[in-house]
Every structure is written in C-alpha cells, then in structure tokens.
Amino acid sequence: MSSQGQRLTPLEMLATLVSFDTESSKSNLPLIEFVESYLQSWNVPYIRVPNAAGDKAALYATVGPQDRGGIVLSGHTDVVPVAGQAWTSDPFTLRVADGRAYGRGAVDMKAFDALALALIPEFQAANLKTPIHIMLSYDEETTCLGVIDTIRRLGRDLPLPKAAFVGEPTMLEVVDAHKSVVTFSTTVHGHEAHSSKPYLGASAVMTAAEMIGELNRIADEMMERGDISGRFDPPYTTVHVGVIEGGTARNIISKICAFQWEFRGLPSLDPQEIPNRLDRFAQDVAIKRLNRFGDFGRIETTLEVAVPGLAPEPGSVAEVLALRLAGRNHTQTVPFGTEAGHYQAAGIPTIVCGPGSINQAHQADEYISLEQFEAGAAFMRRLAAICAAS
C-alpha cells in the first residue's frame, strides 16, 4: 500500500460518514468498510471487533507507535432515527449553509469521527511518540455496549491507553462526570377472574400500581438525599416510569401488567441499590398481596440497559490534558449518558469532550456549526503536537 492515501478534508469526511444510514437498528458495516479502506490507504493498522450477530462492528485504529498505549479518541457510528421528523433536506446528504453543516449525526457524533479520520495524515506527519488511537463503536444510542468487546482487549492483547476522550458534543467543554442510565422492564403475572369475585384471581394491574408506588417512594428519597457535589441538574438521582400497559377490561381482574422504568444515578450511587430495593418490596409486600387468595402470580424484572456513570477523577491524565487542549480551567457535568463510564471501569482515565452542542442532536435538521467543527480540528491538532513531543 502507498503511504499516500486518499486525502479528504474534514468536511468531505463528514459528508461521507453522514451519507451512511447507520441508524442503530441497521448495520454499520458499510461505514466500517469505508473506514477500513481509508485506513489501509494510509497504512494505519486497525482491528475490527464484530458483534455476536456479525451485522455490526467496532473499529480500533492506532496512529503512531504500536508498542504502547496512547490517547483514545472515541466516537460512535450509530445515529438516532429520522422517521417522523420534518427535515428540510435529505438527512443523509450533508448540507452546508449559513455557517452550519446539516445532517443526521452531524453533531452526534460523526463530526468528531470525521475530524479524527481526516487528520490522520497530519497525525502521521507529526511523527507521534505517544500514539493516537481512534475508536469507532456501535449501539451507543441504544445500549452503549458497542465499545465493550474492544475495551476488554485493552491491557491484554492491546496496550492499555493513558487516557480516553469521548467526543460527544460538549461545545469542547471538558466533562468529568455524568449520571448512569439504567433501564428495566417489570412484568406482573396475575390471574383472570370476574371483578365481582376478586378472591378467584390476582390483579396484575393493582400489584403493578403498588410496585410503581414503591418506585415513587424511592424517587422521593433520592431527591431528599440530593447531590453533595452540587454539580448535577437535577441535583439528585432520578427514578422514572415511562410506560405501563395491562388489563383487558374494567370488569376483568387483570392477568398481565408491564411497566418500563429507569433511574439516572449520581456517580456515587450503588447501581444495585434501587433494583435491590424494588425486588425486596416485590418479595416482602407485592407478591404476598398478589397471591393472598392463592398461588396465582409472579413478578419479573429484567435489566435492559445499564450505562455506567462517569465519576470525577480530579487531576487525572485525561482531565489535565483535555483542559490544556481545550483552553479551559474547570470541568463540567452533562445530563446525558455516554460510553465514558465503560473506559473508566477498565481503569482508563476518561473525560467527555467534543465539538458542537447536544442541543442540536436528535432532532430534524441536526447540525454542527462550522466554527465548532473548526475548533474541534484545532483541539486534535494540539493533541497531535503534544503526542509528538512526548
């Protein structure tokens, strides 16, 4: 392979990445195959890490020395759906107008991906002493699990990085903490009977209501505990039930009732506390009431998604370096979840920092300002200069 590959400007790279429809329900392999071809043209070594089904893959590339860990630039390739949104133009064709670049994923977060890839020739020319790793993952918008299999290899058959920068849009503010996002589905199985004779059945709906009441009590307690750091909005762990469905008719004791719920926990929260408390309530109170007239029912709770929080690590390599690169003197928090907690759990100092605003994500005519896009490029060029010096 020639060491001189295809040169794409950052904006051309963004247009190419946006052109791939990588909604989380679809395969990202066409995008990954394009990136692999691009990396090959520049002689950049990489690994592909497929999911179990083989229809999606993460990619991990290294520019610079291969025998040591460096700085990870971590971005996801999947995007949220466009269905039902009133776009002014084709969401998968980048449109540049009025100082903005419009397209699905333009800010969340193909801009960060595009910058890392387009600047590879500059990274190579810098003769890096500390490598820059580029991680492209999948399923961040749904489960945040697309990075897991690759992260498990770091420190094993791949060098453990010194730090990770997750490039979610933060207006290049340095974020050192965010809440966890953990979601569940609870199903109550009862027994149908005529509502005039409740002793012949077991009401799934009424039992589910008791379970939800307990979640309300837990939510109130979490609010009272508050946030000692005072950095989060809202300043406490939140508990929320978003969907409930059950019953057949007003005069039939309900057989099934299911509800979907979540908590968004402060970094200090034990992730097992809330589900364990609900399970104890189910066993000590709810199931006994459900089955007071006979062994009719059961209650099942299934964990669906668990995105770990990101806890502050004052003075970490990631924080110090990111503050220097971004020209900031303090860190911030964000209300949304990211893949950052997975890196931190693997012992890699991690921050969240990327160009653009989350306020423009997940909506029609999603965009990143060209000013922020250019600022993101400057951030990465400064990183290359530091990695070349040490």
Q: What is d(CA 299, CA 279) in angstroms, rounded to the nearest whole number?
A: 9
> Cα dist. 140→167, 175, 282 in Å?
12, 18, 32
Query: Letter for the amino acid at 320?
Result: V
Tokens found for residue 208? 């589910």
Query: Among the residues of the chain, which ranges form H helices?
Result: 10-18, 29-41, 110-118, 120-125, 148-151, 204-225, 273-281, 287-290, 317-326, 340-345, 370-389
Our answer to whether residue 78 is catalytic in this structure is yes
In contact, 97 and 189? CB cutoff 8 Å = no
Measured distance CA(366)–CA(195) in Å, rounded: 51
Strands 256-264 and 238-246: antiparallel
Catalytic residue from among 23, 78, 176, 366: 78
Q: What is the DSSP string of 16-48?
A: HHHTS--BTTS--HHHHHHHHHHHHHTT--EEE
Q: Is 339 a catalytic residue?
A: no
Name the catalytic one among 23, 113, 139, 140.
Answer: 140
Query: Which residues belong to the active site?
Result: 78, 140
